[in-house]
């Protein structure tokens, strides 16, 4: 009897497994059978049903993209994680970036990366933040530059120190994030609370809290992408939010500051001088702060706006600064001395005083080095845009994609193109952009790290100036090297993204290093 029951259970399990596989296969075949009458880009050949190009996309993305580009042309499609993704090259990239009525980066980012629309409340605050970044952070940079560099210097002293004896920093990415967090917090929440330990910790870690949402491989997307989205967002939809603790920290920090500012403004009237920070921009909005009564403040709106600003600012600036630092150490023999001499000359011209925006603009060699570093460490495929046309969109080359299709940009097609980049585009040459009079903040067809069109990153000028000040101060103060480890020049990827370098760095005070020489 027991043997019979065991065999029955085993048979039931096999039947269930067969039904499950049948459902998955049926769903896959159903998706493939949904042919349209559109002139879609060619779907690159793949050997394995259901899996499609997924394994190649994860393990050999550069090879997959380069070979598909060569075989099918600059516009083609891949089948990755249960959905068709269209890849466009250099000829069509800027068509996607310009046609904001037909392609949405925001919706593409939500669908393929992080569902920010479920994490952050108040969707309209995203538009408010763009105005803040464009008109305040970038528009008033000349007024903010003194605070920016003062805080970078203080942060370097705090997290790296004098280094009279050589100091090994084993996790430079974390140290750079610690440094960059201080000036960013100052500009966003202001002088009164940016040094609060809890606030700084939130600035450093909020982005990583959101990245946890994409750590689950989208296996269920093989059945349908919608199913994966539903599963990973269950915690959010039942009340858990990955940034809830950060929201509380921000609120606790800014609430007493807001109350004091409103009371001071009411008490002093025209004699009151408004602070220069993003927090005050929110308070100047009559819809957010309609009167001098702290009880009528829309704190939830302000807190979510600040959280969004932190998310936007930290990921770009901290990662960029780290990439440039590693690129400088890796190519120390070629470029360090020349960049150091430029830093010295600029330092002499301003008599060792604070840098002005004009001084930073004169760092032309460093500017070109920063741009080349960002170009050289870019993803293979990036900037996913969702087609939001009513039914389909027709590219200038005649290919058509249905509404809802994700269209991603083939950055290799732009960054490895000799016509766009000059000679030997696959090699690192620090001054290729200087020779073309092409600063890093300039939006051009040959550089896509900050996007393009009217939706290009509005904070790129602030981010680049922050990176340049950071590297400028490092050049003047330290000699930096690896601890007898070699930074691999061969790029390694996970999917389309470059594997971050994690080698420790040795910092030694410049004066001490010269004495030792």
Q: Which residues are annotated as a binding site for heme?
A: 457
DSSP-derived letter for residue 192 is: T
Helix (H) or strand (E) holding 509: strand 505-509
Residue 38 backbone class (left: φ over 0; alpha: ψ -120 to 50; beta: rest): beta
Going by the annotation, the residues of the binding site are 457
The helix/strand/coil state of 513 is: helix
438 in Cβ contact with 446 (< 8 Å): yes
The helix/strand/coil state of 481 is: strand
For 43-104, the DSSP string reads: BPP-SSTTTTTHHHHHHSHHHHHHHHHHHH-SEEEEEETTEEEEEE-TTTHHHHHH-TTTEE
Whole-angstrom distance, CA of residue 63 vs CA of residue 65: 6
For 198-244, the DSSP string reads: HHHHHHHHHHHHHHGGG-S--GGGGT-HHHHHHHHTHHHHTT--TTH
Whole-angstrom distance, CA of residue 153 vs CA of residue 436: 32
Whole-angstrom distance, CA of residue 477 vs CA of residue 493: 33
Q: Over 253-320, what HEC string results?
A: HHHHHHHHHHHHHHHHHHHCCCCCCHHHHHHCCCCCCCCCCHHHCCHHHHHHHHHHHHHHHHHHHHHH
């Amino acid at each position: 009897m027991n043997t019979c029951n065991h065999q029955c259970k085993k048979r039931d399990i096999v039947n269930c497994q067969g039904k499950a596989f049948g459902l998955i296969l049926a769903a896959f075949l159903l998706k493939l059978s949904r042919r349209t009458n559109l002139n879609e880009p060619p779907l690159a050949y793949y050997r394995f049903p259901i899996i499609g190009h997924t394994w190649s996309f994860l393990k050999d993305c550069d090879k997959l993209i380069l070979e598909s580009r060569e075989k099918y042309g600059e516009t083609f499609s891949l089948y990755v994680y249960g959905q068709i993704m269209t890849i466009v090259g250099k000829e069509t990239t800027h068509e996607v970036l310009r046609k904001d009525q037909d392609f949405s980066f925001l919706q593409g980012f939500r669908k393929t990366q992080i569902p920010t629309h479920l994490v952050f409340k108040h969707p309209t605050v995203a538009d408010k933040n763009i105005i803040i970044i464009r008109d305040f952070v970038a528009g008033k940079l000349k007024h903010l530059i003194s605070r920016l560099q003062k805080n970078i210097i203080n942060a370097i002293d705090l997290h790296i120190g004098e280094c009279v004896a050589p100091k090994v920093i084993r996790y430079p990415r974390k140290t750079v994030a610690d440094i960059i967090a201080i000036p960013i917090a100052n500009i966003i929440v202001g002088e009164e609370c940016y040094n609060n330990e809890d606030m700084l910790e939130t600035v450093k870690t909020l982005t990583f809290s959101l990245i946890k949402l994409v750590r689950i491989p989208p296996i269920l997307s093989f059945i349908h992408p919608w199913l994966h989205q539903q599963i990973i967002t269950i915690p959010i939809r039942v009340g858990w939010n990955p940034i809830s603790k950060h929201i509380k920290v921000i609120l606790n920090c800014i609430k007493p500051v807001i109350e004091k500012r409103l009371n001071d403004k009411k008490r002093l009237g025209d004699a009151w001088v408004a602070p220069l920070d993003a927090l005050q921009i929110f308070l100047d909005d009559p819809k957010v702060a309609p009167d001098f009564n702290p009880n009528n403040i829309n704190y939830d709106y302000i807190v979510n706006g600040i959280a969004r600003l932190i998310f936007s600012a930290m990921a770009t600036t901290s990662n960029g600064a780290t990439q440039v630092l590693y690129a400088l150490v890796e190519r120390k023999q070629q470029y360090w001395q020349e960049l150091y001499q430029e830093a010295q000359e600029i330092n002499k011209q301003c008599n060792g005083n604070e840098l002005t925006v004009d001084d930073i603009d004169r760092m032309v060699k460093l500017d070109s080095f920063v741009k080349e570093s960002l170009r050289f460490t870019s993803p293979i495929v990036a900037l996913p845009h969702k087609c939001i046309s009513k039914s389909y969109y027709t590219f200038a080359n005649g290919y058509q994609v249905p509404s809802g299709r994700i269209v991603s940009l083939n950055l290799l097609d732009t960054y490895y193109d000799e016509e766009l980049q000059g000679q030997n585009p696959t090699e690192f040459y620090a001054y290729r952009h200087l020779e073309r009079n092409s600063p890093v903040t300039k939006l051009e067809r040959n550089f896509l790290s900050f996007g393009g069109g009217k939706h290009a990153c509005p904070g790129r000028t602030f981010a680049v100036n922050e990176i340049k000040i950071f590297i400028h101060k490092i050049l003047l103060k330290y000699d930096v090297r690896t601890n007898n480890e070699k930074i691999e020049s061969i790029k390694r990827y996970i999917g389309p993204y470059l594997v971050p370098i994690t080698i420790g760095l040795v910092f030694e005070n410049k004066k001490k290093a010269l004495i030792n020489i």
